[in-house]
Amino acid sequence: MKIRQNHSFNHYNTLNTRIMKRLFLAFVAIALISGTSFAQEGKKALRTADRDYGLFKGNTQDKEKLSSALENIDIAIQDAEIAAMSKAWESRGKIYDEIATQISIAKGTESLAGLAEGLPKVDNPAIVAFESYKKALELAEKKYETSKALTGIKENQENLYNMGYYENQDGNYEGSFVNFEAVLEAHKILKANDEDSKLASEEDVNRQMHTNGLLAMRANKPEKAKMYFEELYKAGYEEPEIYEELYTIHEKDDRAAAYKYLEQGRKKFPDNVSLLFAEINYFLAEQKLDVLIEKINMAIDKEPNNLSLYTTLGSVYDNLYQKEAEAGNTEKANEYFQKSMEAHNKALAKDENYFDALYSVGALYYNKAAALIVKMNSITGFSKAELKQVEDLKNEAMAEFDKALPFFKRAEKLDPNDVNTLIALKEIFARKDDLETSSEFKKRLENVQGGGTNETSYYK
């Protein structure tokens, strides 16, 4: 028995297929219209951006036109077709660069400071312009497109430099570094394309690298700084900071190996005080005290009014005094004690209210007294001779405390919140059985250690 074909079912399928085809074609048409419309919007935004940029250039008081140009160019490049055009990115570069130009003029001329008012608020406009010009160069297919992109980069390089300079003046080292780094990148692009750069000579390039390295240090970018300084070091760039900064960078990993930079720098620039101070700090860290004394005296010859050098020298001699005293070499210990005292007193002769020297002299006497107390406490016998020895040591210690006291009083008057001064005064008065005054300094000490502040000094 033959199965009869269901004509009504086939008829339904045919109708359904036709309807689906029509729906599909309609959907495709809508999509094409929508895509065309979006592309048209992008092109329209690009035309508007170029028009309003031109109008602003004709009247730089009309900042609304610049704002409109900015808004429309950012809309335009959201369209994939427009974003593939070198011309669109070149336009974007011009608009952002114009913002940077207006900011530079306003910052550079006090009478024109008002020019910045009403400008579109954007971060790093010169950087955005530079990135836009680079994109324009990348997408350029025609010779004139390449030429326009390179012209943009050349003009933008000036703004990058200016913005870097003003950011540095404002203390924004991160922003300054970013702009100055782009100055060098722009230079490389221009030179690769046989174009003139703001950095006209090798010396200009080295000077910019030097600036970038110093800014990288300030912006807490040690790896970037290391890159610039090592390149300058290999090139034999004659600047003392190169050697000092390379030492600073490498010191954290290997101080002894890093010293080669200081050593070479000191040979090249023997009169540079900054390198000398860095060398002093190196020998301080290494505790090479004999060499250190020689270096500090050299520094004093160059800067006789630098009071910190005298107190540093005094501290070195104090360190030597304590080592010799612990070793029982009384004669040598006394010699270093006197040299330490002399160094601090030279500082006080130049400034009688120099806190560091006042405290240090007090500490010299105090530590000498403390050593005598330790020696006194080590005597445990009760013979007549031993008791006399204890009494003599106690009197000797109290005499040293009495010598220390005037210096600590003057130090406290200058800084009533210095913890070490307060500790010394508390202990001295306790030793002198002046418990009331000792208690007062204990309270003041606890106040500071608890995060408080002594509003006035005890001694007037």
pLDDT in tens, 417-456: 999 999 999 999 999 999 999 999 999 999 999 999 999 9
Q: How confident is the model at residue 24 (pLDDT cuts 50, 70, 90)?
A: very low
pLDDT of 363 strictly over 70: yes
What secondary structure letter does DSSP report for 113?
A: G
Long-range own/partner contacts, residues 367-373 (CB < 8 A, 24 or more apart): 367/318, 367/322, 368/337, 368/400, 369/397, 369/398, 369/399, 369/400, 369/401, 369/404, 370/397, 371/325, 372/396, 372/397, 372/400, 373/397
Question: Residue 348 — left, alpha, or beta (φ > 0 → left; ψ -120 to 50 → alpha)?
Answer: alpha
Contact 253, 237 (CB under 8 A): no
Two tokens, residue 336 = 């270093």
pLDDT at 115: 74
Question: Which of the residue ranges 113-122, 209-218, 246-255, 353-362 would you say has the lowest mean pLDDT?
Answer: 113-122
Angle between helices 384-414 and 419-431 (to 10 degrees): 140
Two tokens, residue 236 = 């034999």
Residues 6+ apart with CB under 8 A from 317: 293, 336, 337, 339, 340, 343
Distances (CA, A) of 312 to 223, 280, 291, 318, 362: 32, 10, 13, 10, 15
Q: Pseudo-torsion of CA 399, 403, 406, 410, nearest 10°?
A: -140
pLDDT of 152 strictly over 70: yes
Q: d(Cα 317, Cα 417) in Å, to the nearest integer?
A: 27
- HSE, CB side, 13 Å, CA atoms: give it for residue 321: 20
Average pLDDT taken over every residue of the chain: 89
Two tokens, residue 237 = 């760039």
Question: Which of the residue ranges 30-39, 120-129, 156-165 would you say has the lowest mean pLDDT?
Answer: 30-39
Question: Residue 124 — left, alpha, or beta (φ > 0 → left; ψ -120 to 50 → alpha)?
Answer: left
Name which of 364, 291, 278 is nearest 322 in CA terms. Answer: 364
pLDDT at 295: 92
pLDDT of 238 strictly over 90: no
pLDDT at 41: 87
Contact 365, 403 (CB under 8 A): yes
pLDDT of 64 strictly over 70: yes
Chain segment 220-230, per-residue pLDDT in tens: 999 999 999 99
Two tokens, residue 38 = 């979006």
Name which of 273, 297, 282 is nearest 246 in CA terms. Answer: 282
Chain segment 175-186, per-residue pLDDT in tens: 999 999 999 999
Q: How confident is the model at residue 8 (pLDDT cuts 50, 70, 90)?
A: very low
pTM over 0.75: no
pLDDT at 437: 97
pLDDT of 54 strictly over 70: yes
Residues 6+ apart with CB under 8 A from 395: none
Q: d(Cα 300, Cα 342) in Å, to the nearest integer?
A: 14
Burial call 142-164: b when 16+ CB within 10 Å, e when fewer: eeebbebbbebbbebbbbbbbbb
Contact 409, 441 (CB under 8 A): no
- HSE, CB side, 13 Å, CA atoms: give it for residue 454: 24
pLDDT at 108: 78
pLDDT at 2: 34
Residues 6+ apart with CB under 8 A from 319: 287, 289
pLDDT of 20 strictly over 90: no
Q: d(Cα 47, Cα 60) in Å, to the nearest integer?
A: 19
